[in-house]
């Protein structure tokens, strides 16, 4: 009897001790780069080099995290945002990311920008089980949780966008002869392949010409001329801002009047349509998921005003017409939301788990009706877009929110 009691007491004590230690452990469930007061986040952005117009993303993240920190951080922890310039050059990205993971000991990589730079660190981060969260590229391949459980995308994938165009063409322009101008890399080819997939067995007949360009080409005039000569009456352009602007202008200058679908990567009013000449882009169609800051219909909304005040308060007034600044803002908000969801369990495993359980998350600058959802086997949060037409000053939304999956 007495022996039994003693055993029981011993067991209780042991259980108590275990409970105590486990609860002690729970208070400090931290991965690398996290302490009671700080979460270290790593990022690469092209602040110089050919894709540097996207560098505004990193600047907006930094400003947004600074604002969160001023307001007391996330559950008392401040974000220490380390963002470095990789010039959109993959070897540089690898070097910087290794440095951030091994020396700076960042908790996770956030919104690293560009398809080739992300390709270069994809394997490394997954091998080392470091989250590569919300990559700033829309390539289709990022949504592959089975093989790459540590990589998650954010943007609607290029393929989804291209399929939305394909669906629109099939429905409204069934006899279209389609020409495609694309950047000669994975990003451009995703659009081409997405279009082919969306058109299905009609693709071979409908796509009459394709031309590609290299980012080192000074102009794409020759490609546009060749596409016009194919007799196409629909043009899909998958190009970054500089070449998108040149295309809009050249198509107009040579008197070609196709139904022009312009990819969301290069449809900013400030950096594409305005340099091209506003009147030259009238009628161009594009797809979007985010409120364009130049669209007057948003400018009275509290969401826009809050964003504008944020931009002006953080020395970013020069970029208030750039849709990329609205995108960077939404990226940062998504990360803050996920880190909040993690509570005090800030391990790399948990951050991936929380990121994979977004359920209709609404962000202020996303178009009405568009939300973020993820699951264990779907790592592409945004799958809806809406078509819009350029009227000479701004993009005008039309039709309903479309799903491209």
Partner 1 sequence: MHQLLQQIFSGLAAGAIYASLALALVMIYRATNLVNFAQGEMAMFSTYIAWTLVNAGLPFWGAFLITLAVSFLGGMAIERIVIRPVENAPILAAVVVTIGLLLIFNSLAGWIYSYTLQEFPSPFPDRPLFGALMTTRDIGVIAVTLVVLAVLFCFFRFTTTGLAMRAAAQNPESARLCGIHVGRMLAIGWGLAAAIGAVAGIMVAPALFLDPNMMSGVLLYAFTGALIGGITSPVGAVIGGLIVGVTENLVGTYLIASQLKFTVALILIILVLLFRPNGLFGTAIVRRV
- Interacting residues with partner 1 (CB under 8 A): 46-50, 52-53, 55-56, 184, 211-214, 216-219, 221-223, 225-226, 228-229, 241-242, 245-246, 253-255, 270-272, 274-275, 277, 318-319, 322
Of residues 55 and 293, the one with the C-beta less far from partner 1? 55
Provide the minimum distance between the beta carbon of 319 and partner 1 in the complex, in angstroms, as a whole number.
7
Backbone angles phi, psi at 266, to 5 degrees: -130, 60
Smallest separation, CB 356 to partner 1 (Å): 34
Cα–Cα distance for residue pair 405/403, rounded to 1 Å: 6
Distance of CA 26 to the CA centre of its chain: 33
- What distance in Å separates the CA atoms of residue 278 and residue 244, rounded to the nearest whole number? 13
| 287-to-15, 27, 203, 214 alpha-carbon distances in Å | 59, 45, 20, 24
Provide, rounded to whole angstroms, the least separation between the CB of residue 388 and partner 1. 21
Smallest distance, partner 1 to C-beta of residue 224, A: 8
Q: Which is nearer to partner 1, 36 or 279 (CB)?
A: 279
For the four alpha carbons of 76, 346, 34 and 25, in that order, the dihedral sign comes to positive
Among residues 133 and 224, whose Cβ is nearest to partner 1? 224
Which tokens in the block code for residue 20?
Answer: 């105590």
Closer residue to partner 1 in complex, CB, 51/152: 51
Distance, CA of 160 to CA of 144 (rounded, Å): 15
Listed residue (215, 240, 236) closest to 227, CA to CA: 236
Length of the chain, please?
405
Q: Could you give the C-alpha distances from 386 to 23, 29, 80, 288, in angstroms and in order? A: 48, 41, 35, 5
Using the CB atoms, write b or e for 101-139: b if 16+ within 10 Å.
beeeebbbbbbbbbbbbbbbbbeebbeeebbbbbbbbbb
In angstroms, give the least distance from the CB of 284 to partner 1.
Answer: 17
Q: Minimum distance between the CB of residue 213 and partner 1, rounded to whole angstroms? A: 7
Q: Which one, 255 or 296, has the nearer CB to partner 1?
A: 255
Smallest separation, CB 188 to partner 1 (Å): 11
In angstroms, rounded to a whole number, what is the distance separating the alpha carbons of residues 378 and 384?
Answer: 14
- The minimum distance between CB 228 and partner 1, in angstroms, equals 8
Minimum distance from CB of 222 to partner 1 (Å)? 4
Q: State residue 395 phi and psi, 5-degree precision.
A: -85, 135
* Strand ranges inside 46-177, DSSP E: 78-85, 108-110, 132-135, 151-153
**Measured from the CB atom, is 275 or 364 closer to partner 1?**
275
Q: How far is the CB of 325 from partner 1 (least distance, A)?
A: 11
Give the residue with the Cβ less far from partner 1, 254 or 376.
254
Closer to partner 1 by Cβ: residue 319 or 333: 319
End-to-end CA distance of the chain: 68
Closest Cα to residue 45, out of 105, 92, 106? 92
Output the smallest distance, CB 57 to partner 1, in A: 12
Strand order in 259-262's β-sheet?
207-213, 178-183, 234-238, 259-262, 285-288, 384-390, 395-403
Given a contact cutoff of 8 angstroms between Cβ atoms, the answer to whether 291 and 366 are in contact is yes
Cα 140-226-49 angle, rounded to 5 deg = 50
Q: Identify which of residues 245 and 382 has a Cβ nearer to partner 1 in the complex.
A: 245
* Nearest to partner 1 of 247, 354 (CB atom): 247
Q: Cβ closer to partner 1: 214 or 391?
A: 214
């Amino acid at each position: 009897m007495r022996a039994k009691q003693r055993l029981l007491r011993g067991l209780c004590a042991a259980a108590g001790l275990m409970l105590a230690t486990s609860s002690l452990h729970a208070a400090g469930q931290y991965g690398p780069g996290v302490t009671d007061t700080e979460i270290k986040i790593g990022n690469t952005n092209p602040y110089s080099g050919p894709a540097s117009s996207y560098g505004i993303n990193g600047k907006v993240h930094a400003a947004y995290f600074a604002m969160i920190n001023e307001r007391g951080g996330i559950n008392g922890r401040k974000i220490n945002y380390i963002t470095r310039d990789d010039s959109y050059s993959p070897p540089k990205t690898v070097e910087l990311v290794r440095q951030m993971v091994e020396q700076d000991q960042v908790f996770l990589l956030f919104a690293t920008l560009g398809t080739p730079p992300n390709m270069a660190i994809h394997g490394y981060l997954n091998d080392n089980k470091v989250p590569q969260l919300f990559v700033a590229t829309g390539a289709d391949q990022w949504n592959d949780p089975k093989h790459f459980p540590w990589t998650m995308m954010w943007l609607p994938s290029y393929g989804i966008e291209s399929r939305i165009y394909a669906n629109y063409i099939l429905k409204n322009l069934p006899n279209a002869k389609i020409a495609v101008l694309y950047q000669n890399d994975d990003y451009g080819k995703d659009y081409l392949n997405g279009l082919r997939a969306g058109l299905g067995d009609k693709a071979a007949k409908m796509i009459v010409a394709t031309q590609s360009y290299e980012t080192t080409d000074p102009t794409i005039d020759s490609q546009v001329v060749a596409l016009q000569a194919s007799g196409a009456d629909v043009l899909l352009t998958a190009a970054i801002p500089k070449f998108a602007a040149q295309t809009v202008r050249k198509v107009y200058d040579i008197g070609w009047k196709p139904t022009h679908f312009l990819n969301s990567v290069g449809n900013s009013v400030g950096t594409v349509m305005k340099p091209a000449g506003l009147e030259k882009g009238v009628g161009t169609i594009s797809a979007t998921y985010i409120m364009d800051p130049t669209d007057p219909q948003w400018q009275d909304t509290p969401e826009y005003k809050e964003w504008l005040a944020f931009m002006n308060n953080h020395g970013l007034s020069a970029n208030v017409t750039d849709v990329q600044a609205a995108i960077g803002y939404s990226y940062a908000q998504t990360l803050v939301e996920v880190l909040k969801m993690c509570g005090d369990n800030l391990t790399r495993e948990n951050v991936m788990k929380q990121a994979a359980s977004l359920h209709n998350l609404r962000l202020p600058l996303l178009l009405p009706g568009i939300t973020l959802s993820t699951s264990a086997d779907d790592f592409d949060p945004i799958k809806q877009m809406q078509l819009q037409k350029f009227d000479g000053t701004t993009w005008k939304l039309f039709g309903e929110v479309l799903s491209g999956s």
